[in-house]
Chains A and B, each alone.
Chain A
Amino acid sequence: MSDAHAHQDWRAWFAENGARLRLIARQWTRSEADADDVIQEAFVRFWKHQRHLPGDPNALVVTSIRRAALDLLRKTDRRALREQSVYADSEMTTWFEPEEDPRKQALLDTLPTLPAEQREVVVLKIWGELTFEQIGAQLAISPNTAASRWRYAMEALRKQLTAKTYE
């Protein structure tokens, strides 16, 4: 990811990073519409007020996304939460562009089968480009726990992909 400190043009920076940030927002929201609201609020706050702050701008923007997502979750009632939790899982396949390569498509189909807490770590590690320490800080867990979830996720992905081969 290019350094947000150096960028003056938000469009160029967002064109490069917007899709992966939206994927991260999607981890903590119940629908694509919610993710779009979150990414809008979080990015505006980051670009206007936070991108010049000291520290890793990547971690800052992820923090901004998480805060906006948690704020949105608090605003909605529990009933909506129950109703949409099922819907959220069914939307998982729309997080990525469809793949023609069967290997990639198999991986894409396997990701939704991961437990949410492991999937969250995978997304923050791969598309958030965060270290385990930073992931731990985001999720209020220890870096060891984050690393442990990552290992379980990798193992689970491997097993699922293997099983798909034999089907």
Chain B
Amino acid sequence: MRWKPSVNNLPLKLMNDKNDFADDDLVAALRDLRPRPVPAPVIAALAQELDAPAASRGNIIAWFTGVTTAAAMVVVAFHLASPSPDTPDFQLVRAEQGPTNLELLQPVRLDDGSFARPLRMHWENTTHWEDRRTQAHFINYRPVEQVALIPLETY
């Protein structure tokens, strides 16, 4: 017979009922216990973490914009100031991007079971400055490589 809860009989019934119901009743009684709720400061801290991303990102963007503006003003002031005879006076000569090399690699199988063909792209960016006064050249050469995946349809 299934145990019926009453004020004074729980332990005795549990002792006497050596069947599956006893465990069920005990489990049901355990489930009825109520864990203490999470304190309000913890919920407030969670709110700060989980509700704030957009706001904090906004703050970072605003901060970054301010710093960028300040940096730009410093650069402009630096350019406006006439260079002393000892400082180099580089002028941009050329800035170019070389032809792109495409390399199609063997198709691969992705984690989700679909297939894709990796594509490797390679090109070079070159920027060239010259100080006409000292005939000094400054060339910045930057090879760039990117890999992309082209999805393949399989039937």
Which residues of A come within 8 Å of B, CB atoms? 10-11, 14, 18-20, 22-23, 36, 39-40, 43-44, 47-48, 94-97, 99, 101-104, 106-108, 111, 122, 126-127, 154, 157-159, 161-165
Q: Could you count the A-B residue pairs with CB atoms below 8 Å apart for me: how many are there?
A: 97
* Contact B50 A47, beta carbon cutoff 8 Å: yes
Across-interface contacts of A102 in B (CB, < 8 A)? 7-8
Q: What does the 1/0 interface line of B25-69 toward A look like (CB < 8 Å)? A: 011011111111111011101110110000000000000000000
Q: Considering the chains assembled together, what is the distance between the CA atoms of A124 and B41 in angstroms?
A: 25
Q: Residues of A contacting B10 with CB < 8 Å?
A: 103, 106-107, 161
Interface residues of B (CB under 8 A from A): 5, 7-8, 10-12, 14-15, 22-23, 26-27, 29-39, 41-43, 45-47, 49-50
- Among the listed A14, A95, A97, A106, which residue makes an inter-chain contact with B38, where contact means beta carbons less than 8 Å apart? A14
**List of B residues within 8 angstroms of A106 by Cβ:** 10-11
Q: Once bound together, how far apart are the Cα atoms of A162 and B39, in whole Å?
A: 35
Contact of B34 among A18, A19, A48 (CB under 8 A): A19
